[in-house]
Chain A
Amino acid sequence: MSRAETGARVIVLGALSAIAEATARLHAAEGARFILAGRDETRLGQVAADLEARGAASCLCRSLDLAAAADSYAAFDEMVEALGGVDYVYLFYGLLGDQDAAERDLAAARDIVRVNFSSAAEWCLAAARRLQAQGSGVLLVASSVAGDRGRQSKPLYGAAKSGLTVLVQGLAHRLAPSGARAVAVKIGFVDTPMTAGSAKGGPLWVTPEQIAPKLRRFADGKRPVVYAPWFWRWIMLVIRLVPAPIFHRTKL
């Protein structure tokens, strides 16, 4: 699949995420055809109109709770049929959640795992099944550096993203002989609504517009697990190497 190819068929699961929208704009400029899946119908319509103005050949919206699909296989197959095939599948939806709330209330804890891992895993399986059968296309999943080492502030979110990365890594392995691919991107700090609660600014933070071209490139690249931006690879290497007695004294 060359970057210049026009009319690529793109499915975006979690199309209302800030990073998803920035990435979709790059595909729109190349004349892509989209399925946009997310929860809010009105907002999906706004994103769709914008992508079409930016060059998308067409946008179909699917408003649904992606973490509560009764049958992800059937739902995914329907999307592929509606598009007449698929070249790119992006999975962007996610939930940072509140660890303290999750500890008070198991339903909140279950949500974090369900949104970030269990439901996502089902969509990944659904996508891999199609991509493997057709022998082409790519599944790109937004994972997180938070999955590289468990930390007291976000152990559940980190675990779910860690699981997601390993799942996608496994699918990449499985798809390799077919010609289709899967990519897990371990994303660092991005200024989006998800991180609205954090103090931002400083050299580690990037905007969705800065990260999107990297994701777009990774979708056409070769590596199954990548960091974005690249420097997180080295930051996380150091963080993983810090001995537990020292790590436990931090508030990370």
Chain B
Amino acid sequence: MTSWGRVARGTQVTTRPRFRDLLPATLEANGALSGTSVLPLGLARSYGDSCLNSEGRLVDMTGLDRVIAFDAGTGILRAEAGVSLSALLSLVVPRGYFLPTTPGTRFVTLGGAVANDVHGKNHHLAGSFGCSVRRLRLLRSDGSRLSLSPEESPALFAATIGGLGLTGMIEWLELSLRPIGSAYLDTENLAFGGLEEFFALSAESAETWEHCVSWVDCAAGERSLGRGIFMRGRHRDDGALRAHRDKGGLSVPLELPSFLLNRYSLGAFNALYHALGKRKQGLARTHYESFFYPLDAIRQWNRLYGRRGLYQYQCLVPPETAADAVAALLRRVAASGEGSFLAVLKTFGDKRSPGLLSFPREGTTLALDFVNRGAATLKLLGTLDEIVCQAGGRVYPAKDGRMPAAVFRQGYPDWQRFAEQVDPGFSSDFWRRVAA
């Protein structure tokens, strides 16, 4: 059993109930009532240890993958928590709906999307995933089954959105979908030469472009610091409602030897990516599959990072400090010669996330991945933490497998209020690390 980053590994007892009525017995059988901790698991697309529970048990929720009700008139959908975004899209796109927001992979479950209160390229308009959750059913280890909504049960609802699976098992949830007139988007790629241009493009696009994200060259030296490609898109209205297909695609069959990823290959890749992006600038008509999920086209791409796996580092810094902090982070990464293929930069809007531990808030987020080179990598990430903390920012638990407790507590000042809502029968490796 391992998460997407493949750093932490271990065998782990998992059970996979296929019907909702089995959940209470599943909790009992796994000891959630008798001292062993339990953690619900989705599709394990979290990178670090927030979806692992090496001292307890995991309950694989993907067997609960049924739609309960879908109203094609209002776009309100109620479905079990194990339904994947991919399955959901195949169902609702032909009927003219899309997810309210989506992360960069469609192979995550609804439960996982709620538990990390995930964000997408449209955060500046739609807010986080939790903003579109109307209601959910939570099973606690004391046997209670609660129907939570922001109005009726604000405290537990706010703890469960972004609650990292620690407040109980989400059985099902109800979501408002976004109506679309096409499965295609008008997209535009623009090269930018530095952070100032990036912030200007973000501000200029915020109102008229629903989806915005940027790739940034994190190997670039001082002269081209913060250069990148700004990608924006908005749904078309041409009536072409063709959903993606999950079959086929490429898969990485083997782990790549990690020495292939070094300062030179990374620098070369980034320079090439920038040059190609610059050449491909301009408008296009793009299917949602390639716009939102380019990485899903290569299954198990995480194996490219070799036997020891990878660390993701995603942080968020508030608007006041964003420009300086992002520059400082990029400088630090470029100087280290470590650093990533796909560094992603995006500004978040001011729509409040509903969760106590929700990662998104107004500001700028930067996501990087690093080959795991042991102590050296951890040291580098530690220095990034310092920059983020000084800027009043935070690090994303979904992508994290090592942030020190102090960094977590500073980034999430509501964590103690959250802790009061944690179900005593639930825990995770992440939670033991940051809260114990």
Chain A interface residues toward B at CB < 8 A: 16, 18, 40, 42-43, 46-47, 49-50, 53-54, 193, 196
Contact across chains for A49 and B21 when beta carbons are under 8 A apart: no
Task: Indicate if B67 sits at the interface (CB-CB under 8 A).
Answer: yes
Q: Quick one: closest A residue to B17, CB to CB? A: A193
Task: Indicate if B33 sits at the interface (CB-CB under 8 A).
Answer: no
B125 to A: closest C-beta gap in Å: 28
Identify which of A42, A49, A193 contacts B66 (C-beta below 8 A): A49
Contact count band on B: 10 to 19
Contact across chains for B67 and A53 when beta carbons are under 8 A apart: yes
Identify which of A16, A18, A54, A193 contacts B67 (C-beta below 8 A): A54
Contact across chains for A43 and B68 when beta carbons are under 8 A apart: no
Contact across chains for B91 and A49 when beta carbons are under 8 A apart: no
CA separation between A142 and B435, bound complex, in Å? 50
CB-defined A-B contacts under 8 Å, sample of 18: A16-B19, A18-B18, A18-B63, A42-B21, A43-B19, A46-B19, A46-B66, A49-B67, A49-B68, A49-B69, A50-B67, A53-B68, A53-B69, A53-B70, A53-B91, A54-B67, A54-B91, A193-B18
Task: Indicate if B279 sits at the interface (CB-CB under 8 A).
Answer: no
CA separation between A54 and B68, bound complex, in Å? 10
CA separation between A53 and B67, bound complex, in Å? 6
Contact with A along B19-39 (1 / 0, CB 8 A): 111000000000000000000
Residues of B within 8 A of A18 (CB): 18, 63
Contact with A along B270-286 (1 / 0, CB 8 A): 00000000000000000
B294 to A: closest C-beta gap in Å: 24
Contact across chains for B18 and A46 when beta carbons are under 8 A apart: no
B80 to A: closest C-beta gap in Å: 8
**Which residues of B from 35 to 76 have beta carbons under 8 Å from A?**
63, 66-70
CA separation between A160 and B67, bound complex, in Å? 35
B25 to A: closest C-beta gap in Å: 13
Residues of B within 8 A of A46 (CB): 19-20, 66, 68
Residues of A within 8 A of B15 (CB): 196
Interface centre among B15, B63, B66 (most CB of A within 10 A): B66
CA separation between A232 and B414, bound complex, in Å? 56
B215 to A: closest C-beta gap in Å: 33
Residues of B within 8 A of A193 (CB): 18
B104 to A: closest C-beta gap in Å: 23
Closest 6 CB pairs of A and B: A50-B66, A53-B67, A53-B70, A50-B67, A43-B19, A46-B66
